[in-house]
Amino acid sequence: AANLKDPRFWHLSKTAQAVKEQLTQENFGWRSSVKQFVDNYVKEDEQEYFRESSYISSDNHGMPKFQAHTWRSKISGWALENTIGSSLSDAKAILNFIKQIMYEPLKSTAE
């Protein structure tokens, strides 16, 4: 966006140039973002929920570089809402850490 030359994009180009130094050169690869909102009203059950999902894939393996999920629900007409969310960065590093904990024997520091 910082390299746009068309006068219509002058403000966008200047803003992008101002923050260009803050960006990393990391290539996140393909990005897919799925957002779903379902507003459901059932007289006996009064249910509505919102679910959001984001995924950024990696270039060299099937593990995501970033993945996030959010689910918010309002069930049975209660005034309170439940929200569950999770996100992770670099899934391969996390799985390697878990594998190390599970499969490598613990070394004793006792003499």
Query: pLDDT, tens digit, for every residue of 10-25?
Result: 888 898 888 888 777 7
Stated pTM of the model = 0.40
Query: pLDDT, tens digit, for every residue of 47-85?
Result: 666 667 776 766 666 666 677 777 777 665 565 666 777
pLDDT over 70 at 46, yes or no: no
Category of 90 on φ-ψ map: left (φ > 0), alpha (ψ -120 to 50) or beta? left
Burial degree of 31 (CB within 10 A; 0-12, 13-18, 19+): exposed
